[in-house]
Amino acid sequence: MDTDVALAKRLAKDLDAAFPVLVDAHQDRLYTIALRLLGDRRDAEEVAQDALVRAFRAMRGYQRERVAALRLRPWLASIAVNLARNRRRRAEDRQPPNQLEPMLDTGFDLPADLRSGPERRADRRETQRELAEALLRLTPAVRTAIVLRHVDGLSVAETAEALGRPEGTIKAQVHRGLRELRITFETPALRPPTTPARARAARLLPALEAIR
């Protein structure tokens, strides 16, 4: 946090000189947020890059005092979340949601952590893959709350600020999201299907949960 306060001051003083520092410090988290919201690496790359550029242009138009007072973590997250939301809506306009196969791009085809043994590594990657898929089946409002609060690691207050929702709403959405994710993992019968043929059944899961 302290480094962000210092960075905001540097941005206010000399935007061109300090912006590369912001890019270094925030590109991974903006990419992660976009990837976990959209489930597609190419879309996530574009959203993360666009978010950084929009932040740059916005700051260029702001008074110095306003730039210096920016809380960069929630502010940048809100830009990425809005761009991801617009992109998802455009995609849904082109293709009705009931024809969309679940998106399976989890962003983990890079060599895994070499410090852990092959078995643990495979387990870990399997967990990551399943969890990334489970996130994509949450409703968008719950998903954004979970991604900002628990993947990105913002506080409840920062998540509320980034999403423009009351803290109470965030707490309820995070609670609900964690519960739904836990169900996915604890009930083998309800585990996310991994083949497209079984994908449609997966969308019935929330409804099944509700009547149980």
- Contact residues: other proteins, CB under 8 A: 16, 19-20, 23-24, 27-32, 35-36, 41, 45, 48-49, 52-53, 56-57, 107-108, 123-124, 126-128, 131-132, 135, 146, 150-153, 178, 181-182, 185-186, 188, 191
Q: Which is nearer to other proteins, 88 or 149 (CB)?
A: 149
Q: Which is nearer to other proteins, 42 or 99 (CB)?
A: 42
Residue 96 CB, shortest distance to other proteins, in Å, is: 28
Q: What DSSP string runs through 45-112?
A: HHHHHHHHHHHHHHHHHS-HHHHHT--HHHHHHHHHHHHHHHHHHHHHHHS-GGGPPPP---S--SPP
Residue 5 CB, shortest distance to other proteins, in Å, is: 22
Q: Which is nearer to other proteins, 93 or 119 (CB)?
A: 119
Cβ neighbors of 106 (< 8 A, separation 6 or more) are 39, 128, 129, 132, 133
Residue 13 CB, shortest distance to other proteins, in Å, is: 16
Residue of 51, 33, 62, 36 lying closest to 152 (CA atoms): 33
Rounded Cα gap, residues 208 and 210, in angstroms: 5
Residue 106 CB, shortest distance to other proteins, in Å, is: 8
Q: Which is nearer to other proteins, 96 or 115 (CB)?
A: 115
Torsion sign (Cα): 189, 195, 198, 202: positive
Dihedral angle of Cα 198, 200, 202, 203, to the nearest 10 degrees: 180
Q: Which is nearer to other proteins, 30 or 163 (CB)?
A: 30
Residue 143 CB, shortest distance to other proteins, in Å, is: 11
